[in-house]
Structure 1
Amino acid sequence: MRTETGQTFRLEDYRPTPYAIPETKLDFSLEPEKTIVRATLTIERRDGTAAGTPLILDGDELKLVSIAIDGKQLADNSYIATPDQLEISDLPEGKRFTLEVVTEINPTTNRQLSGLYRSSGVYCTQCEAEGFRRITYYYDRPDVLSVYTVRVDANEQAAPILLSNGNPVESGSVEGKPDRHFAIWHDPHPKPSYLFALVAGSLGVVKDHFTTKSGQPVDLAIYVEHGKEGRALYAMDALKRSMRWDEEKFGREYDLDVFNIVAVSDFNMGAMENKGLNVFNDKYVLADPETATDVDYAGIEAVIAHEYFHNWTGNRITCRDWFQLCLKEGLTVYRDHEFSADERSRPVKRIAEVKILKAQQFPEDAGPLAHPVRPREYREINNFYTATVYEKGSEVVRMIRTIIGPELFRKGMDLYFERHDGEAATIEDFIKVFADVSGQDFSQFALWYDQAGTPKVEAAFSYDAAKETFSIELAQSLGATPGQTVKKPMHIPIAFGLIGTDGEDMVPTSVEGGDVRGDVIHLHRPSETIVFHGIKERPVPSLLRGFSAPVNLSAPLSDDDRAFLALNDSDPVARWQALTGIFNQALLEGAKRIRGGHAPAVDDKIIELAGNVASDETLDPAFRALCLTLPSESDIAREMGSNVDPDAILASRNHFVDAIAARYAGDFTKLYDALKQDGAFSPDAGAAGKRALRNVLLDYLSRHEKSQKRATSQFANADNMTDRFAALAVLVHRFGDTNEAKDALASFERQFGKDGLVMDKWFSVQASRPGDEALQAVRDLTKHALFSLDNPNRVRSVIGSFSASNPTGFNRKDGAAYEFFADTILSIDPENPQLAARLLTALRSWRSLEDTRREHARAALARISGAGKLSTDLRDIVDRTLA
């Protein structure tokens, strides 16, 4: 484990390496506790590098066996080798030489799950961001591109499958060792070390094939645990759809003879885009109706697509340095969002994206962990795989498309691929292609990459009936964030419409002031006023349609205006935003009244809005489900901003749910019954939307009826995991102390106790049960025979669900949950620093809590900070959170 060093890496300090490594040959002799790695590297001194410049390569907990240059073993005094670095000063005079390094590693004891590790009998690698240095000494950075040839040998019985990057070249028995076999793989495309992969073990496989648009055949394979092959069929279908979509939408063909995916259960990330050999957390591969929910199916589709799309946006064109991480991740998230929108419902998908952005990225931007989409500095790069880099990075790409339009955006992407294929690129390279194809100046827009925080846009409206003009005044501001106190105005594209009393968009005869192009206002200055002429009646303005920019918008709209937008806006995202705004305001006021000792009041007009949405058969059921799902406790806390009392928020939300359910119990019952689907299960968007709406109604009805009977019946009779788990959640969260809830949990465990992914749901639903009782439940769950700190999925299902999805249970007023959380984080950190650091981000908004809870949270963070040696990952997060 790398412990705290205090070293800070800065973008301004970037320099190319003095040497290149154009060719890398790796030879692995796999053994559980003593794997030998022979790395044969072709080293070239770059132009401008003085002869005699030392070669300094990265390592991490490595054991050096031998070292040679051009076939000659080096004398001990000609190099300095530590577990974390290899420095060679006695180098040949020529510009090119061969370095051969042999290291010994222990995959079995590698519980960090970084580098080469062994889990459940399977050898697996995870090299992004800096895991390759745990395998051999190397320039472990993304700007060193090399052509890899990999030989792997292992015991054939223990590891009949031997995989690496690229195309298979040769395989057979190891001469003189009849129990061992080998495979050789070659990847002709230069790549950085973080994209290296190796998998070896006994695995089942699902095979298929794909023919590219130019007629090239590609062999496809998904490797899974034996007996789970049938659950990989949906992932295979998603892969083939992704490959075709990328050809049609971005003109990108696959470029190898084979494409392999391996699903493993012990994995820190969701998935990894290693060239030609994607390694996945099995959560994002395995699905069938009995074990996976609709959310799981959608997640598999999106993540399969995301990793495949990286083949071009990440692999063929990678990032020059880790400060440019958003270049591959933000862009590829945008691409997988577009794929899912095309495959499913575009409005529903967009609303889901906005919900995630507001729930995960906005709090990050508002707290001590705020950083730009492209950070200027970091202490531990693992901690910058964040919602800001991924989700906000995607929004920045989306804004580029909004600004220049879809046709020029596609031309810009084509130019990007043409200009930078085979390179390690930068954000400047990316922005320049759009400036070149559009002729527009993107210098102000580039601030989205360099300034942290969520801009606030305040609007003011005025209507002059005599002149038939409607004016919109917009003002932008961006508050101070860590390391950035002075901010510049941004280029903010605001999609808009002016809606008349007939519900139709009004078309002005002319526009004066500002930068308005079609239905988008481009805000450039701190404040601007736009006047629309020829407006014959006061319109209701709809701003930020499609959530066209990741900003906080404050507009002086009355409840009647918002209700009008919720029922009439032609943009579904704007309709949802208007309705959510009404609900948020009511829930905030209710929480404040409860905290002040008063009962919350609920406006009948707001209740009617919920009923109108539920009964509108013209709307997509999935859209209705999203609208009827009230803002979460975390959403309300975010809107509250300070002095947050989770108990008051939950009470306000429950009161609101009760009021809606009481008013529409009869209608909801009829709709619940009508939405029951007969016939074979289908994961398609239409069927999933109906299940989503029906399960939202189940929650309303169960609260109104104050009875577990409906949920118990649905649990017993469900023919799919979506409906079964929704019923279980209602039973556990609403009626957790009843025999019915306990019986359902016991039944679920009996049926799925041997299925790790399904049991993650069982653990999670209990850890997220609201209320003070959750802490003891979580303590008990960590003592369960199936719980292990070594499995990231299981840890996330318990500790992650508790800390991130249970505001009342985690934020107990006595601080006991914080103490337990701190103990757990300190237990995880020595073995898996990445997991510990990521879990700790649950306390990023601790300063927004009311006084008592805030002090308890601070004490827990201080205890972690003072607990002796921490990993660099955890030290970075705790220091920034307390700063």
Structure 2
Amino acid sequence: MNKPKNQKGISKYIKLEDYKVFDYEIPEIFMDFVINKNAVNVTTKLKLVKKNKNTKNLILDGTDILIKKLFIDDSLIEKQYYKQQKNNLKIENIKKDIFLLKIEGIIKPKENTSLLGMYESNGIITTQCEAEGFRRISFHADRPDILSKYTVRIEADKNDYPVLLSNGNVLKENNLTNNRHEIIWEDPYPKPSYLFALVAGKLNCVKDNFITKSNKKVKINIYVEYGDEKYVQHAISSLKKSMKWDEDKYNLEYDLSLFNIVAIRHFNMGAMENKSLNIFNSKLILANSETTTDEELERIEGVIAHEYFHNWTGNRVTCRDWFQLSLKEGLTVFRDQQFTADVHNSEIKRLDDAKFLRRNQFREDSGPTSHPVMPEKYQEIDNFYTTTIYEKGSEIIRMLNKLVKDENFYKGFSNYISTYDGKAATIDQFVDKILEHNKEIDPKKFKIWYKQNGTPKVKFKRIWDQTDEKLTIEASQSNPIKKNLYNDLPLIIPINLAIFCDENKTIEKTVVLKTKKQEFVFRNIRSHLQIPLVTYFREFSSPVEWESDTTFEEKFLILRYEKDFFTLSNTVKVFYKKIILCRLDEKPDHKIENKFISTLISFIKNRDINLSLLSELLSIPTFAEIESEMENLDPLKIYKTIDELNHLFGTKLKEELYFKLQEIETSLDKVWPEGKNERKLIETIWKLLLHSDDEEIKSKIINYVDSNSMTLAKAALNSFSRINCPERKIISNIFFNKWKNNSVVLDSWFSFNASIEIDEKTNSIEKLFENTYFDSKSPNTLRAILNTFVTRNSTFHAIDGSGYKYIAKKIIDFDKLNPIVISRFIKVFSRYNYYSEPYKSNMLETIKQIKKNKLSTNTKEVLDAIIE
């Protein structure tokens, strides 16, 4: 594949159209790691089989590796026959078709601060090879379509590195002289280099096991730093649930007798699915109800499932090239979402997933960093680990499942796995397998979903013929982004709809929009309404935005008639947006506000309503939610309006909220997952009551900060975020003093304090970076402060631009330390064009100032996209 060129070169992009098969196969690799105090000697033996008989050269990727010697079949390669450049190694005049290349090299993990490749942090050596980290460990054709069987020997001092882990099964362990020891690992399944993993250090192991459906015993080991052993039972339980679920749902059984997980604090990703050696950010392993919220417990369960499910969708079948990234990630997100829906409440899970996608992916799709699920080009693949690749990719598969029905979907999935097991596949091949026996859906037309960027828009209009009892729905589709040629082509869009003839008669249908304009005709519709009421995209059946001719009076009827959680939540959101827009225009619509408040009261009084759903319905949109959907934004005015509405609704709903509070308080002590709905709702109630200037509730909430439930403790913390009162400082101190020695939990304290507006300047935020407990190498802590400050603190949008300038300094400083975190964070500026003045100009000036500095390639690529 072509590599990015420098400024004098022809192209700085890697392009999908340039893909070609590598000249060699590498069926077997042996790696020998000798870990010394300041360096690691790495000897790699690659068995190479020439596929392109016309080539005599071999080019391998490699960065920051000192070459000692090179051999071909034990013959030393003289220096004039190879050339080492900054990022590759070229060996010339190779005449053999099959040969063994031996590379003796040295790397220095202690000097590697990138958290990519092999690095040492807190005395633990760890690897992160996805996407292109392996080239920092050894020279290799570091691309996902090269699958090899690995044998790995690791040698180290027993005191410094008592635990030595890699992929697969243990072949041999030995004690050596000079207090050293060795271990040899063999992975029997071919894998790409990005799935290689090695961990060495002082770790404690918590053991368990799982019996597969074929009665095979799988040893489960979770390795953590000393003192963290008591926090792993939730992770073990989650892993076992996912192993059992994958057997039951997809007939996929774990294929080895050992499954290892390692929890590391200094780890950029949430987790990594390395074959049989999953490496996790500690935050997504160490958990119990005292240290972890209900929401986080569910997320951890889902992430552990996600990484386990990769064993088949990503590891056994991998992606041919990085343009196919969603083949493994979108598909595995779809599977982990299914898992959580099956284990918990499917309607709430669907609502949560839809909300996340619309808030994050729609925002991404409406800005300059918008890209297709299968991009056509990139500079740094690390920049494409996005909500588009993951969550939108999952939604496309969900639509595919909906279109072909479950039985055909699972049959096609099984054929896909059996056909491409042990191979590198493409998105096209997956879709073809699912649609193999389906004659109604044209695969070529469906695949356009992967090539378009931007969020499609669908418009609906009803035509009602009461005499003939015929309802016609006119539908049309378009894409607001015009740069991509594929965006002009119509998509295949499944639409779940309901036709309400009256309160007691509902017709539910799924129709499929296949052309730019289409009519759907429904006959024998008898309705007492002036025109039958229709709701669209129930269960969020397609990742689109839509407009309809539904009036606001009809929307109130939807809140009476509809049962679908997503549609109820979405309709409520429409009311909130309408109310906020009127207030931003300084023309409050008190009639709609009062009628809407009366509707919310009826929801609160409904004892049968799902309490998580009620929490959603009562939650006034946050700044981040509003910012992703509006234009000509005045951020300070929006923050002020949100505060006003929280005060208004808290005051108007106070009596009903107190009744509900009494009703649910008896369930707050239940053990997760029991009681989670009540605990979710109580934060919403506390927040509204605090905004209503209710003094009585303050002392009551403070009592929960020291709770044995982290959900309640953080609910107490978060509900005070925008309440300027002495109690806010009290709860902050209580939380800090209790958790200051638990770095995972303390990130919540950093986040809370980053949201507080103590004054109009950034002094209070800077104090967080200066805090003794701030760990500059921890991606979690960095994200906790930066992300919260820009999304929940109006000081970021100071009218003089000082908040933007302050964050610019942090971006420049931390880009040197962690470019992956910063390149993702910097997208906060991607919607600058949607802001009013002076915010727009202030943001643009800040972006230009950042660009003047020496930045990582990751961050530079994102900035270039933002202001191209």
1:672-711 superposed matches below 5 A: 672-677=661-666, 681-684=670-673, 686-707=674-695, 709-710=698-699
RMSD: 1.8
Task: Check 1:852–1:503 CA distance in 2 against 1; reply closer, same or farther (3 A cut).
Answer: farther
- Report the equivalent of 1:450: 451
- Give SS of 2:410's match: helix
Task: Check 1:26–1:601 CA distance in 2 against 1; reply closer, same or farther (3 A cut).
Answer: farther
- Give SS of 1:143's match: coil
The Cα of 1:602 is off from its aligned counterpart by 5.7
- Give SS of 1:790's match: coil
For residues 726-783 of structure 1, the C-alpha deviation after alignment (integer angstroms, 9 at most, x for no partner) is 1112223313xx3322122122111111111111000001112358647322111111
The Cα of 1:712 is off from its aligned counterpart by 4.2
Task: Check 1:277–1:386 CA distance in 2 against 1; reply closer, same or farther (3 A cut).
Answer: same
For residues 354-392 of structure 1, the C-alpha deviation after alignment (integer angstroms, 9 at most, x for no partner) is 111011100111110010000010111000000000000
The Cα of 1:482 is off from its aligned counterpart by 5.0
1:293-442 superposed matches below 5 A: 293-439=293-439, 440-442=441-443
Structure 1 distance, partners of 2:590, 2:133, is: 53
Structure 2 distance, partners of 1:4, 1:121, is: 37
- Report the equivalent of 1:49: 53
Structure 1 distance, partners of 2:113, 2:43, is: 23
- Give SS of 2:692's match: helix
- Report the equivalent of 2:278: 278
The Cα of 1:328 is off from its aligned counterpart by 0.3
The Cα of 1:566 is off from its aligned counterpart by 2.1
The Cα of 1:110 is off from its aligned counterpart by 0.9
Structure 2 distance, partners of 1:68, 1:522, is: 61
For residues 307-351 of structure 1, the C-alpha deviation after alignment (integer angstroms, 9 at most, x for no partner) is 000000000000000000000000000000000001111111111
Q: Give aligned pairs, total.
A: 857
1:591 aligns with 2:596: no
The Cα of 1:210 is off from its aligned counterpart by 0.7
Indicate if the aligned counterparts of 2:5 and 2:13 stay in contact, CA closer than 8 A. Answer: no
1:102-117 superposed matches below 5 A: 102-117=104-119
Amino acid at match of 2:254: Y
- Report the equivalent of 2:753: 766
1:609 corresponds, among 578, 595, 599, to 599
Q: Which runs of 4+ in 1 moved over 6 A?
A: 2-6, 598-601
Task: Check 1:285–1:486 CA distance in 2 against 1; reply closer, same or farther (3 A cut).
Answer: closer
For residues 594-620 of structure 1, the C-alpha deviation after alignment (integer angstroms, 9 at most, x for no partner) is 7xxx79876211111222222222121
Indicate if the aligned counterparts of 1:455 and 1:477 stay in contact, CA closer than 8 A. Answer: yes
1:31 aligns with 2:20: no
1:426-825 superposed matches below 5 A: 426-439=426-439, 440-480=441-481, 482-484=483-485, 487-506=488-507, 519-537=509-527, 538-593=531-586, 603-640=593-630, 642-677=631-666, 681-684=670-673, 686-707=674-695, 709-710=698-699, 712-716=701-705, 718-735=707-724, 738-769=725-756, 773=760, 775-803=762-790, 805-806=791-792, 808-825=794-811
Amino acid at match of 1:631: P
Structure 2 distance, partners of 1:567, 1:285, is: 42
1:134-173 superposed matches below 5 A: 134-173=136-175
Structure 1 distance, partners of 2:799, 2:482, is: 29
Task: Check 1:57–1:709 CA distance in 2 against 1; reply closer, same or farther (3 A cut).
Answer: same
Indicate if the aligned counterparts of 2:500 and 2:532 stay in contact, CA closer than 8 A. Answer: yes
1:794-873 superposed matches below 5 A: 794-803=781-790, 805-806=791-792, 808-867=794-853, 869-873=854-858
Amino acid at match of 2:535: S
Indicate if the aligned counterparts of 1:234 and 1:287 stay in contact, CA closer than 8 A. Answer: yes
Indicate if the aligned counterparts of 1:621 and 1:689 stay in contact, CA closer than 8 A. Answer: yes
Indicate if the aligned counterparts of 1:28 and 1:152 stay in contact, CA closer than 8 A. Answer: yes
The Cα of 1:678 is off from its aligned counterpart by 5.8
- Give SS of 1:288's match: coil
The Cα of 1:214 is off from its aligned counterpart by 1.2
Indicate if the aligned counterparts of 1:714 and 1:723 stay in contact, CA closer than 8 A. Answer: no
Amino acid at match of 1:501: D
Structure 2 distance, partners of 1:591, 1:484, is: 37
- Give SS of 1:530's match: strand
Task: Check 1:601–1:756 CA distance in 2 against 1; reply closer, same or farther (3 A cut).
Answer: farther
Structure 2 distance, partners of 1:115, 1:401, is: 37
Larger deviation: 457-466 or 564-573?
564-573
Indicate if the aligned counterparts of 2:448 and 2:486 stay in contact, CA closer than 8 A. Answer: no
For residues 607-653 of structure 1, the C-alpha deviation after alignment (integer angstroms, 9 at most, x for no partner) is 1122222222212111111221122222222332x210112222222
For residues 657-677 of structure 1, the C-alpha deviation after alignment (integer angstroms, 9 at most, x for no partner) is 222222221121121122124
Structure 2 distance, partners of 1:247, 1:208, is: 19
TM-score by length of 1: 0.95
- Give SS of 1:497's match: strand
Indicate if the aligned counterparts of 1:67 and 1:73 stay in contact, CA closer than 8 A. Answer: yes
1:88 corresponds, among 82, 91, 94, to 91
Indicate if the aligned counterparts of 1:811 and 1:853 stay in contact, CA closer than 8 A. Answer: yes
Task: Check 1:491–1:90 CA distance in 2 against 1; reply closer, same or farther (3 A cut).
Answer: same
- Give SS of 2:505's match: coil
Q: Mark the runs of 5 or more structure 2 residues left unpaired by the alignment.
A: none
- Give SS of 1:337's match: helix
Q: Percent identity?
A: 35
For residues 781-813 of structure 1, the C-alpha deviation after alignment (integer angstroms, 9 at most, x for no partner) is 11111223321111101112212x226232222
Larger deviation: 483-492 or 823-832?
483-492
The Cα of 1:530 is off from its aligned counterpart by 1.5
- Give SS of 1:563's match: helix
Indicate if the aligned counterparts of 2:471 and 2:521 stay in contact, CA closer than 8 A. Answer: yes
- Give SS of 1:405's match: helix
For residues 811-850 of structure 1, the C-alpha deviation after alignment (integer angstroms, 9 at most, x for no partner) is 2221111111111111112222112211101111111111
Indicate if the aligned counterparts of 2:579 and 2:589 stay in contact, CA closer than 8 A. Answer: no
Structure 2 distance, partners of 1:385, 1:653, is: 32
Structure 1 distance, partners of 2:273, 2:847, is: 34
Structure 2 distance, partners of 1:216, 1:743, is: 54
1:75 aligns with 2:78: yes
For residues 241-281 of structure 1, the C-alpha deviation after alignment (integer angstroms, 9 at most, x for no partner) is 00000011011110011001100000111000000000000
Amino acid at match of 2:860: R
Amino acid at match of 1:117: Y
Indicate if the aligned counterparts of 1:733 and 1:769 stay in contact, CA closer than 8 A. Answer: yes
Indicate if the aligned counterparts of 1:711 and 1:730 stay in contact, CA closer than 8 A. Answer: no
Indicate if the aligned counterparts of 2:363 and 2:629 stay in contact, CA closer than 8 A. Answer: no
Larger deviation: 765-774 or 162-171?
765-774
Structure 1 distance, partners of 2:597, 2:36, is: 65
